[in-house]
Amino acid sequence: MASAEVQETPRAANLSLVALKCAWPAIAVAALALLPFLNTPFTIDDPLFLQEARHAIQDPLHPQAFDVVWSAGLQMRASNLLAGGLAAPYILIPTVLSGNKEWVAHLTQIALLAVALFGTALVALRLGVDRRGAAVAALLAGTAPAVLGMAGTAMPDVAAMMYSVLGMERILAWRERRKWHRGLLAVVWLSLAALTRLHTVLLLAPAFVFLLDGIRARDIRSSFRNFPARFVTVAAVPLVVLLAIRLAADPEALFDRVTVRQTYLELFRIAANVCAFFTHWFLTAPLTVSWLVLRWRNLSWRLAVFAIGCATALAPKLGWAAYLAAATALVFGDIFLNAVRHRDRVRLALGLWLMPALALAIYADLPSRYVVPLIPAAAILIARILPDARPAVRRWLPGAAVMAGLIVSILVLSGIRGLARAQRRAAQELVAPRTLAVEPVWFAGQWGFHWYAEAAGAKPAVWLGITPNTGDIIVVSLIDVPAFARNWTRKRVIQRVAYDSGGRVMDMDAGAGFFSNVYGYLPWVWAKGDANVFEVWRVE
C-alpha cells in the first residue's frame, strides 16, 4: 500500500521548500517546452478573454458587460457566451497593457503553470508521498499534453489548475492544523478556481472527503462530532462564488435563445461528450496507460469484461474512441472500488477530483482543456501507487510516461502554432490590404482570425441587424464553421485560399479535435488537405 497520509507537518516553510525542490525539474521541463512557442499567435477562445480583459480595465467590476459577435453570427452580450469565468480576464490584463503582445500572455501561462506544479508537489507531500513521488507527480502533470497545450494559449485553464491545486493544498493544511488563515485561503483559492472555470466548483466533493476522519460510517459521524467547523471552508465557497457572480454580473445581461440552442444538445452529443471525457484521460493526461501498466494484475476481470462489452456495443456509433474510453472507465472503476474496499479516504478524494469535467457532458462539446484543473489528482494517484510496482517498472515507467507526454505535447504545441499562424496570416493577406484600400470589409469567423481581422480594421459580419451591403467584401473562415456563412446567401466567391499547416490539432476530416471533440478525439494528427480554408465573398 502507499504510504500513510501525513498527519502533522513540522513546519510549513520546510515543507514548501521541499516541494519546491521536488517541483523544479517539472517547472524547468515545462518552461523549456513552452519557450520556443512564446510568439504563437492568439487562437481559439483567446480573443474572447482578451476582450474581457480589455473591458475589465475600463469596468473592473463587470468584465463581461459588453457586446460581441462570435460563433452565432449575431451580436450578443459576452455574459451570454461566457457563463461564469468572471475571474479569467484579470489574468490577461498585463497582456492588454503591453499592447496585446503574444509573448506576454505566454510568459504569464508559464508562471501560472510553475505555481501549479509547485502546488502539485506540495499536495503530494501532504498526502504522504515521498520526495521522489512528489517529483514524479509534478513531472507527470507538467508534461501532460492537455496542460502544455493549454499553456500554449491565453485561455484560463492553467490558471484554474493553479487555483484548484492551491485550494486543495490549503484544505489539507487546514485539516492538519486548524488555523483559520489556512481555511480562509482554501476558500479564496477554491472560489477563484470556480470563478475561472465554473465546473471546478465540484471540487468541493473531494475537499469534503479530504476533511473527513475516514470514510467508514463511524468515521463520518465522528468528523461531525469532533470539530464540525472544519466543514465551514467547503460550505463557504458556494456562497463566495454566488456573491461574486451577483456583484460582477452584467447589468444589461439578456437571455439569448441562440446561445442556449448552441449549448445543450441531443442525447448522442451527450454520449459523445462522455466518451470524450474518458478518452482525454487516455490521450492527453497521465492516467489511463500508467494505471493499467501498474495495476493490470489486480484489475477486476468482471469489470474489464463489462467495459469491453459496453465499448463493443457503442463502437458502431462512437468508433475506436469507445475502446479508449472503456479503458479509462475501467481505471476509474478500479480507483473507486479499491478506495471503498480498503477504506482509503485519500484515494476516494483523489478519484472524485478527477470527475468534475464529466458534468459538462451536457455542453456543446467536452474538449481536453476541461480536464486540465483535474490533472494534478491523476498525477498524484500514479505517484501513490508507484511504490507498489515491481522495481523494474518503478525505474522505467515514470521516465517513459514523462517522455511520451512531452512528445505529444510538442506536437500539439506545434499544431496550435500552425493553426494560429494560418489565421493571423489570413487576416494579414486577405483583410488588411482591402481595409487599407478603404474598401468596406467584414469578416466571419472566430478563433484567432477574429482577433487579427478586427485589428486589421474589418467589422464582424452578422446575418441579423446591421448587415453587409451590396458590393461589400466579406472574408470568411470556414474551419470554425461560423453561423453567418450558413445563413448568408447573397454572395459571390471571388477568392478561396487554403493554408496548410501539416500537423493539426483541429481537422474534422482527419479526426483531430484538441480544442473540441466535435472535430475528433485525437489531440494531433499529421494530415494534408484543406483544413484552414478562407473565402473572400462579394455581396450581391
The per-residue pLDDT for range 83-141, each reduced to its tens digit, is 668 999 999 999 999 999 999 999 999 999 999 999 999 999 999 999 999 999 999 99
The per-residue pLDDT for range 470-491, each reduced to its tens digit, is 999 999 998 887 888 888 888 8
Give me the mean pLDDT over the 168-175 stretch. 95
The per-residue pLDDT for range 410-437, each reduced to its tens digit, is 999 999 999 999 999 999 999 999 999 8
Q: Which amino acid is at 528?
A: K
Instruction: Please tell me the predicted confidence (pLDDT) of residue 434.
Output: 92
The 3-state DSSP class for residue 482 equals: coil
The per-residue pLDDT for range 20-33, each reduced to its tens digit, is 999 999 999 999 99
Does the pLDDT value for residue 3 go beyond 70?
Answer: no
Nearest residue to 88 (alpha-carbon basis) of 112, 123, 115, 104: 112
Query: Could you tell me if 192 and 163 are in contact, meaning their C-beta atoms sit under 8 angstroms apart?
Result: yes
Instruction: Please tell me the predicted confidence (pLDDT) of residue 8.
Output: 43
Nearest residue to 150 (alpha-carbon basis) of 139, 165, 138, 162: 162
Nearest residue to 78 (alpha-carbon basis) of 199, 252, 216: 252
55 is written with which cell numbers? Answer: 473591458
Instruction: Please tell me the predicted confidence (pLDDT) of residue 265.
Output: 56
Query: Could you tell me if 523 and 512 are in contact, meaning their C-beta atoms sit under 8 angstroms apart?
Result: yes
The 3-state DSSP class for residue 173 equals: helix
CA pair distance 265, 284, nearest whole angstrom:
25
CA pair distance 508, 63, nearest whole angstrom:
33
Beta bridge partners of 503: 526
- pLDDT category of residue 527 using cuts at 50, 70 and 90: confident
Mean confidence (pLDDT) of the chain: 90
Q: Which residue has the higher pLDDT, 375 or 465?
A: 375
In our burial notation (b when 16+ CB lie closer than 10 A, e otherwise), range 310-346 reads ebeebeeebeebbbbbbbbbbbbbbbbebbeeeebbb
Kindly report which listed range (261-275, 421-435, 521-535) carries the lowest average pLDDT score. 261-275
Nearest residue to 26 (alpha-carbon basis) of 162, 158, 139, 152: 139
- pLDDT category of residue 531 using cuts at 50, 70 and 90: confident
CA pair distance 331, 354, nearest whole angstrom:
11
- pLDDT category of residue 320 using cuts at 50, 70 and 90: very high
Does the pLDDT value for residue 321 go beyond 50?
Answer: yes
Instruction: Please tell me the predicted confidence (pLDDT) of residue 12.
Output: 60
CA pair distance 158, 333, nearest whole angstrom:
27
